[in-house]
């Protein structure tokens, strides 16, 4: 089947869950889409080949550009985010770097909010600076600071809620401020997933996901997505992505299509469990601070729900290595968004070797613990946290 047929989907009279469960119709009535494990796609006749090169046909050509399994994923995600087009990549960082480079060039300025994902920070501070793209980092919760910083800028890069401290930006207000300055806006929406936040509706220009997190949901894929207008996606596919070559594989696209079917269901469970644990931690004497956007919801928030990732600070006197080692269900590890619960103490990245350490530069507390709440029973997770905290008190 052709990618354009794959794009045909039930109309919007259906709800999001229905649309995510129902894929396009496939050959032989297959319920699950085929994995097109083919590097190239041949033509039956000369004219159809010429038509493809002229741009008059969407016949698949080559898997660096338009693998049909990947194209089906792109259609589904574009619709879910409410965008015209989507482009999939082999990682979230490929999505981020391609998207940024499609907007800014040498001599142009980026404004970026504090507490962005560490490799986004390194990309802007290190790589981009080498190509004479300068970035100013600002407190994303201050509209005044953003207003001043955006003068003469080309791109505003957002991440809401942000890494480590989960601080939100007012997307509607920031988007209209950026329009006033003629600045393009881009957001990393991995935390909320398209289920809980649709930034294009708030006026943001480009949305990025590390699909390695909730969209995959099973901790078995590394992938990235960019969703925007056809024109903005074309700026990437014409000038950036074919040359950087960070394409997604058909197998991984298929796993993401599978992940999407249960995304709303999983997000609802992450929402409920993490909010319950955040509330319990907030009332717990050993905890000095809980960073979860649902505890003190802002009236300006564009979040429709909360994911499973949040952080808290352990009071002095609780030994962090003992706490981490005492956890039985929360495993120590980077990443998040999967079925399994994970723990990551900020001290591990504060001590990380290498240039441009965002945790140090943005002043993340060494007492901070980030957890990714998985799909286990919430009561078991609470008992695990409580036991580990009690056993680490001295
Ligand atoms: C993990 C992550 C990324 C990077 O995604 P990869 O798929 O690992 O390249 C970007 N942004 C955020 C917020 C992330 O958590």
pLDDT on residue 207: 99
Place of tokens 């390695």: 212
pLDDT on residue 23: 77
pLDDT on residue 25: 84
Mutation choice for ligand 1 from 190, 193, 214, CB with most ligand atoms inside 8 A? 190
**Residue 156 bridge partners (DSSP):** 111, 185
Which residue's CA is minimally distant from atom 7 of ligand 1?
Answer: 92
Give the global pTM.
0.95
Residue 351 CA: distances (Å) to CA of 118, 317, 318, 355, 366: 13, 20, 19, 12, 10
C-alpha 248 – ligand 1 centre gap (Å): 15
Q: Is 217 helix (H, G, I), strand (E, B) or coil?
A: coil
Residues of the chain with pLDDT below 70 are 1-12
**Residue 371 bridge partners (DSSP):** 310, 343
Structure tokens that stand for 146 in this block = 């953003």
Mutation choice for ligand 1 from 94, 95, 117, CB with most ligand atoms inside 8 A? 117
pLDDT on residue 4: 40
Q: pLDDT digit string (tens) for 94-144?
A: 999 999 999 999 999 999 999 999 999 999 999 999 999 999 999 999 999
Residue 57 CA: distances (Å) to CA of 49, 50, 71, 274, 294: 9, 9, 14, 47, 47
Residue 116 CA: nearest ligand 1 atom is 13
C-alpha 379 – ligand 1 centre gap (Å): 29
**What's the CA gap between 275 and 265, in Å, rounded?**
16
**What's the CA gap between 263 and 217, in Å, rounded?**
7
What DSSP string describes 96-150? Answer: HHHHHHHH--TT-EEEEESS--HHHHHIIIIIIHHTT-EEEEE-TT-HHHHHHHT
Residue 336 CA: nearest ligand 1 atom is 15
Percent of the chain with pLDDT over 90: 93
Residue 163 CA: nearest ligand 1 atom is 13
Angle between helices 230-239 and 92-103 (to 10 degrees): 100
C-alpha 324 – ligand 1 centre gap (Å): 23
pLDDT on residue 8: 44
C-alpha 57 – ligand 1 centre gap (Å): 34
C-alpha 224 – ligand 1 centre gap (Å): 8
Residue 211 CA: nearest ligand 1 atom is 7
Distance from the Cα of residue 62 to its chain's centroid: 27
**What's the CA gap between 91 and 127, in Å, rounded?**
17
pLDDT on residue 11: 54
Q: Is 11 helix (H, G, I), strand (E, B) or coil?
A: coil
Q: Taking CB atoms and a 6 Å cutoff, what residues make up the pocket around ligand 1?
A: 91-93, 117, 159, 163, 188, 190, 210, 212-213, 222, 224, 335
């Amino acid at each position: 089947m052709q990618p354009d047929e794959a794009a045909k989907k039930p109309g919007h009279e259906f709800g999001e869950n229905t649309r995510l469960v129902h894929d396009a119709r496939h050959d032989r009535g297959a319920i699950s889409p085929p994995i097109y494990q083919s590097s190239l796609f041949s033509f039956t006749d000369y004219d159809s080949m010429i038509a493809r090169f002229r741009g008059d046909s969407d016949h698949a050509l080559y898997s660096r550009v338009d693998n049909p399994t990947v194209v089906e994923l792109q259609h589904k995600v574009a619709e879910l985010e409410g965008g015209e087009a989507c482009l999939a990549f082999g990682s979230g960082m490929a999505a981020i770097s391609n998207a940024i480079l499609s907007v800014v060039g040498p001599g142009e300025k980026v404004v970026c909010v504090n507490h962005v994902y560490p490799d986004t920070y390194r990309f802007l501070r290190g790589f981009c600076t080498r190509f004479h793209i300068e970035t100013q980092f600002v407190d994303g919760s201050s509209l005044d600071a953003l207003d001043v910083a955006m003068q003469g800028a080309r791109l505003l890069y957002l991440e809401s809620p942000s890494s480590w401290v989960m601080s939100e930006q007012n997307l509607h207000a920031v988007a209209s401020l950026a329009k006033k300055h003629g600045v393009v806006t881009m957001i990393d929406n991995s935390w909320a997933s398209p289920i809980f936040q649709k930034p294009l509706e708030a006026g943001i220009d480009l949305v990025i996901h590390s699909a390695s997190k909730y969209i995959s949901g099973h901790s078995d894929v590394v992938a990235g997505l960019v969703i925007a207008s056809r024109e903005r996606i074309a700026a990437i596919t014409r000038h950036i992505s074919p040359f950087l070559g960070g394409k997604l594989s058909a197998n991984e696209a298929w796993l993401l299509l599978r992940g999407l079917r249960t995304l709303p269901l999983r997000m609802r469970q992450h929402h409920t469990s993490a909010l319950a644990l955040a509330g319990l931690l907030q009332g717990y004497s050993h905890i000095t601070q809980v960073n979860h956007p649902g505890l003190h919801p802002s009236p300006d928030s564009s979040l429709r729900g909360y994911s499973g990732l949040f952080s808290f600070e352990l009071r002095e006197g609780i030994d962090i290595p003992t706490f981490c080692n005492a956890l039985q269900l929360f495993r120590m590890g980077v990443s998040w968004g999967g079925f399994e619960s994970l723990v990551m103490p900020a001290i591990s990245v504060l001590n990380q070797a290498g240039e441009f350490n965002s945790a140090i530069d943005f002043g993340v507390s060494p007492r901070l613990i980030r957890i990714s709440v998985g799909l286990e029973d919430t009561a078991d997770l609470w008992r695990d946290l409580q036991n580990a905290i009690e056993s680490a008190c001295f």
